Structure 1
């Protein structure tokens, strides 16, 4: 039996995201020169949640660097579902907009699913609509949820083939846990979903060849629960710049691990930009 490395290799999401963004910028430039119109991402922000404001600003800055136009729509926190749906419908019908990002969460009084479904599937570059979810599930052309899509790109970059591997996903959100499990299943992994009500969670986690932590609890998964040689993808981000995995102890048992920050986060934005240019190319073909 091969012994596990003493220290895992870091999966450098920052460097890979930079490569993807550079290629995306070149495609955006070529499209702009061909059509006279830059790819355009509309960002919609409801309320003034500080974290959401920061995330949207970061995405808009990355758009500018990649040659992607950014149209920002700020809406009051007390907006109704009907008003938000109308805004998103208008953007979906606007030929100058190629991609739409609704920053979430949007407030408990809003029907978030209804809002997502107001985004035209061909402009759903964040992969949040039911049409995108179905495409991920059936392996059809469409837009992946950005964080799961970024995770799959990281696995590919580090030559991690999911075929035949036991993949455990801790978390079941509609934009992260569920879709990343579908993408792994589509790549022939055997996937187990875990959540807050999973019995004997540690025992299930110990079976993982590929572990995706997306539960939203700081340092929830400890090193003693990691299978030796496992690939650990920490998709959590919590106050204090810590993920859902206790990094130091997990790194002693894993073969590959994503740091927080600098792992999954940069990949999410890179995939968003890439899919925006994908959408623009299709819509202007």
Structure 2
């Protein structure tokens, strides 16, 4: 319906009719003619008719206003419902789009974590040379020089690497591992010596007689740090497996029990070295 058209044609017509008749009756009082004569001859009925027309007009106007308000209320109700439905659909669409982007970002970050962890553990794979020697071959009376050089080189590379892990679990495990590696390397530098570069390292045997307490402490702390490093490295391997990070295994004999480790990865107290 256009703006120029009446909202209620019946009420509009009756209202204007009552208005016209009322005006005509009022004007006729001052014009000569039969209507004026009737008004003068029957003033009671004439004025009652005019009052009735005015009352009818008032009621029609009130009815028209109520009808208009009802129509406006229904119209706004439909508009509000339509707008609410639109925003509900938009909210669902935006939530689905956000979830999709969040999943895509998680997948991208997961791939970056996988690649970075595999790169950093390339020389320390499960059952690889470093891992096997750390578990079964470490003897602090005669420690492989190349083993410690490899550990020091890896620590230097990791300290230069500014990249970080997105997954908090991986980041925490990596932080524990690098801290354990640095602690073990520090204890080796503190307690172990070599005669010439390239020779195996050892705790100075003369400490056994000159400073037996330090000799005993050296073996205890070295073994504790080695065990902590082994546990931290195994935890990274566990996370690789749990999160589906494809890290290839290297074949090795896994029948031997790792030194210093108890069942379920619980750490046994480090053995007290016997006097040599």
Larger Rg: 2
The TM-score with structure 2 as length reference comes to 0.22
In terms of fraction of residues, the more strand-rich structure is 1
Which structure exhibits the higher relative contact order, with contacts defined as CA atoms closer than 8 Å and separated by 6 or more residues?
1
In terms of fraction of residues, the more helix-rich structure is 2
